[in-house]
Structure 1
Amino acid sequence: MQTPSPNVVVIYDSLIARDGAAAALAGYFTVNQVPLEKFITEGSFDAPVNVFCVNAGELETTKQVKKVLQTCQNEALFVLPTHNSDGITRLRGITDAEFLVLPFNGNELRSLIKKALNRSVERSWDTLHPQKRKALKEAVVCFENCFDLVQHGEPVPIEAIQDCCHHIRDAAELGDLNNWIDALDNHHDYSFRHSMFVCGTLSYFAHAIGIGGADLDQLTVGGLLHDIGKAKIPLEILDKPGKLNAHEWSIMKLHPVYSNDILADENGLDADLVAMAVSHHERIDGAGYPSALSGAQINDQVRLTAIADVYSALIDKRAYKGSMTCEAALDMMSSFEGHLDMDLLRSFRGFVLDQVHTLP
């Protein structure tokens, strides 16, 4: 369920390392395989990340890699065919880039590439207003920490999340939701990107219609945590680059149940906030999941979260679909009677279109 990914250049003099890297990246990235000698003679290829699949144990190879790194400014990672201590020591002498040694789990390499891609996206935040920059940089650290703790069976860090969401509230006071969305648009951690779309949309909308104080805090924190249950979904499903099959979808639909398991026992979390994570896939007509709630059983916070969640999914791009314009997304959502709260959606539509019409 990832955004379409850019090209990755696999630079190799080791066929076995090249094949291992290519197998891990197939379907997730567009891979251009280039022999090391050709890369040296023809120069840099147009890709944000270079994966060097090389025999670090060969002194001449290390010299060639050093030459390439001196002229190439792209992010670099290494896949080594064997663990050669002398070669790794020489490699460490010319670069601090991360490396993997065969055999490895494909998720490891894909994760390293996503982090490398995201570093350039996160550097672009330096041009934002200081409050928005601080909110995003705090959020990416907080979100990654939350997912990591949940995956290791630890409780979510509520105080850190609340502090992070205060910065998001400060950013929302500046207005311009589209600027927030644009800053996140090319981030390659889909779970983070989507949660920040939803969290930002809720906070910006709530601020615009006069919601403040504890209610605004609750919506912002609830938005950040609304998909926390996905931390328990296998990466092979969570990061799948295409549509999920029926079995995979049945597993994905468990994430609200996992959210309840994660959040229900947290001290100090309001039940309405927990409901945002557990019930935002419920529908007004009772055809949603996980509990088939309907009508008055679905509170306003959950109804708002459902709108933000659907809107964020429609305007985002995936490997299997392009993004919609905000107008097209709102038009489609207007046909979701029985699913979404139409009165709240009309207010939301006005807010979003006002944002569009006030663009410079």
Structure 2
Amino acid sequence: MARCISRAVEDEWLALEENQRLALRKTIVVFKELPEKILNGESIKYEAIRESCHYLVEAVRGNEIDQILKNVKNHDNYSYVHSLRVAVLLAHFGNEIGLGQDELLILSVGGLLHDIGKVAIPPDILNKPGQLSDQEWAVMRSHVDRSLELIQCVENRPRGVMTIAAQHHEKLDGTGYPNGLKGSDLNELARMAAIVDVFGALTDLRVYKPPFMPAEALDYMRNMGPDHLDQRLVKMFRSMLLDTASLLRAI
């Protein structure tokens, strides 16, 4: 059933404009095939992953991302949906604050791959409706290390892509994971990624929770205070989203 739902959603992508269509079709191929190719010992070049995100960045720069977000919503692969949303919103965030093409590609690839290690997390833990036990939580947290192991197999990968995967669960006060980094130890790209990842998690529909409305999620993030997220960047992210009505409707 799930495969049929996903196939139907992917068939609908054929009617989209070129950048929107290729952004979705090429990134889903990368997301699905990368772990298997690495496990099979195949050579993975960063340029191929970057090319898949080229169309995503072009859609961002052409103000076409609302259609991407709308058309990925009903796909059954939750990890892909979340990662694609993070990639889109990270690239949009970077574009709004004036980053160049190379940085936007790093942000989009980093967003797409930041949780790729969740392929190694058992589905009964990943999709558990109730609270995770301490042991289950330790398994869940291990997805960061698994992501880094996979990304390290990509030839010519930029440091920024690794940093986004490594640091997006760190907190400014040092209580995050996996390394308890804090303050100035946290890279600017990773600070942006942490904000977008939290926003994505709050607004995602999961089996164990309904989605937050975007404005609710932004209020929640602001109320987290300065110990978790970089509130200077949260303010910028909030302004960016609230100024774009079509984007808010697509989330």
1:291 corresponds in structure 2 to: 179
Q: CA 1:152/1:244 → structure 2, altered by over 3 Å: closer, same or farther?
A: farther
On the 8 A contact 1:155/1:262 being kept in 2, the answer is no
How does 1:102-113 map onto structure 2 within 5 Å? 113=1
Q: Does the 8 Å CA contact 1:237/1:244 hold for their aligned counterparts?
A: yes
Alignment partner, residue 191 of structure 2: 303
Counterpart contact for 2:203–2:212, Cα < 8 Å: yes
Q: Report the Cα distance in structure 2 between the residues aligned to 1:279 and 1:358, rounded to whole angstroms.
A: 26
Q: TM-score, normalised by structure 1?
A: 0.64
Q: Please state whether the residue corresponding to 2:160 is helix, strand or coil.
A: helix
Give unpaired runs (5+ residues) of structure 1: 1-112
Query: How far apart are the structure 2 equivalents of 1:309 and 1:358?
Result: 17
How far apart, CA to CA, are the structure 2 residues paired with 1:155 and 1:184? 29
The structure-2 alpha-carbon separation of the partners of 1:183 and 1:297, relative to structure 1 and needing over 3 Å to count, comes to same
Match of 2:75 in 1: 187
- 1:213 counterpart = 2:101: yes
User: Quick one: which amino acid aligns to residue 287 of structure 1?
Assistant: T
Residue equivalent to 1:139: 27
* 1:242-281 equivalences in 2 (<5 Å): 243-264=131-152, 266-281=154-169
> Following the alignment from structure 1 to structure 2, what is the Cα–Cα distance between the partners of residues 151 and 206?
32
Query: How much has 1:303 moved relative to structure 2?
Result: 0.3
Gaps of 5+ in 2: none
Q: 1:163 corresponds to which letter in structure 2?
A: E
Given the two structures, how large is their TM-score scaled by the length of structure 2? Answer: 0.90
Distance 2:28 2:201 in 1: 19
Q: Which amino acid aligns with 1:253?
A: R
Structure 1 residue 188 displacement after superposition = 0.7
| Percent of aligned pairs sharing the same letter | 37
Partner Cα separation in structure 2 for residue 322 and residue 283 of structure 1:
25
Q: What's the offset of the Cα at 1:354? A: 1.1
Give the CA deviation at 1:241: 5.3
Q: State the structure with bigger RCO (CA 8 A, min sep 6), 1 or 2.
A: 2
Q: In the aligned structure 2, how far is the partner of 1:150 from the partner of 1:265?
A: 7
Q: How does 1:95-244 map to 2 (within 5 A)?
A: 113-150=1-38, 152=40, 156-240=44-128, 243-244=131-132
Aligned length: 248
1:101 is matched with none
Say whether the 8 Å CA contact 1:232–1:255 is kept in structure 2.
Answer: yes
Q: Comparing both structures, which one devotes a greater share of its residues to strand?
A: 1
Are the equivalent residues in 1 in contact too, given 2:20–2:64 (CA < 8 A)? no
**Over aligned residue pairs, what C-alpha RMSD do you find?**
2.1
Structure exhibiting the larger radius of gyration computed from Cα positions: 1
Deviations 1:298-327 (A, max 9, x none): 010000100110011111100111111110
AA aligned opposite 1:227: D
Q: Which residue of 224, 229, 234 corresponds with 1:345?
A: 234
CA contact (8 A) 1:178 1:355 kept: no
Q: Residues 358 and 285 from structure 1, CA distance in 2 versus in 1: closer, same or farther, beyond 3 angstroms?
A: closer
Q: CA deviation at 1:153?
A: 6.0
- Cα deviation digits, residues 81-124 of structure 1 (max 9, x gap): xxxxxxxxxxxxxxxxxxxxxxxxxxxxxxxx322110111122
| Change over 3 Å in CA distance of 1:153–1:341 after alignment to 2 | farther
